[in-house]
Amino acid sequence: MKKSLLALAVLGAFAGAASAQSSLTVFGIVDLSVNSVKNGSITQKSMGSNQLNSNRLGFRGTEDLGGGMSAGFWIEGGMSNDDGTPGGLNFQRRSTVSLLGSFGEVRLGRDYTNTFTNVASFDAYGANGFGNFSNIYASTPAGLGSGATTAVRANNMVGYFTPGNLGGLYGSAQIAAGEGTKGNKYTGFRLGYAAGPVDVAVAMSQTDLGTADKYKVFNVGASYNLGVAKLLAQYDQRKYGALKYTSYQFSTSVPLGQGEFRASYAKGNAEGGTTSANDASLLGFEYIYNLSKRTALYTQYGRLSNKGASAIALGGVSTGSGFTSTGYGAGVRHIF
């Protein structure tokens, strides 16, 4: 009996050590809003997802390998919560495995590109909402007809991320294999410096399309936290052959007790070929009220003005080109 109790105690100690060295987290976001979007003379009312944060369900974890090293995984998929369908729940938001240590992190799989991470980091909206910068820089005109699929994520990617003890310096380098898929062969890097209220970073990339011309992206962003408000600004340029799309954004976030006010202004300008008239400007406002650390109510407004052949819509049905797209809505977001 004593031997049995001793064996159970030893097994329990090993199990406790194993659980202390490993972790598994289930996480997600549910975000739904009621919106109205008017494109030209057509108005469409809808319940939509992802206006404050992108809906997601994910699993992530780490294992301590000893000697200061660990292994990690992160799989995450989107959800269409307005109708309950799986939507993007195929783990295409992120699906990676990593090795981490004093050297930094080596990450493999489908992940955000560093040029996207850079612009999202210096947008008060992140990458969601009627006023967010991606409405301009990730639009069809900004793609310049290249067929590149790397505006946000890339498949088959190997990435290196610097450790967090470099005196404020941070960076990443990524390379993605095309594997026969046009528009996915990506290489790029990001380098930044953050200390105190200041954060500034630059990113560059190119996507190989199997032709003489490559789709190239350059962006730089900066932010300064005044305490009473955070000011952000950024510049983004995309090139493909003789075509060029340049955009910039100014945005701010202002804490107001349990709430937060956000505002942004962005403009995109196309040059070269027949795309020279595809210009657009965007103005956005948003207010968030935090009921708790995980639950928030929000309301927002955006106005996107197209010029010439530009036909960017904030949602709903596009009405040709040169129209004005306006959107407003209110919603709730819960993080778990």
Residue 261 has which token pair?
């006010």
Nearest by Cα to 129 from 311, 306, 261: 261
pLDDT score, position 15: 43
Nearest by Cα to 214 from 227, 204, 224, 228: 204
Residue ranges for the chain with pLDDT beneath 70: 1-21, 86-89, 273-277
pLDDT score, position 276: 57
Nearest by Cα to 93 from 6, 29, 18: 29
pLDDT score, position 86: 61
Nearest by Cα to 82 from 114, 133, 34: 34
Give dist(CA 232, CA 224) in Å, integer: 7
Residues near 10 by beta carbon (within 8 Å), at least 6 away in sequence: none
Class of residue 283 by CB neighbours under 10 A (exposed 0-12, middle 13-18, buried 19+): middle
Class of residue 164 by CB neighbours under 10 A (exposed 0-12, middle 13-18, buried 19+): exposed
pLDDT score, position 206: 97
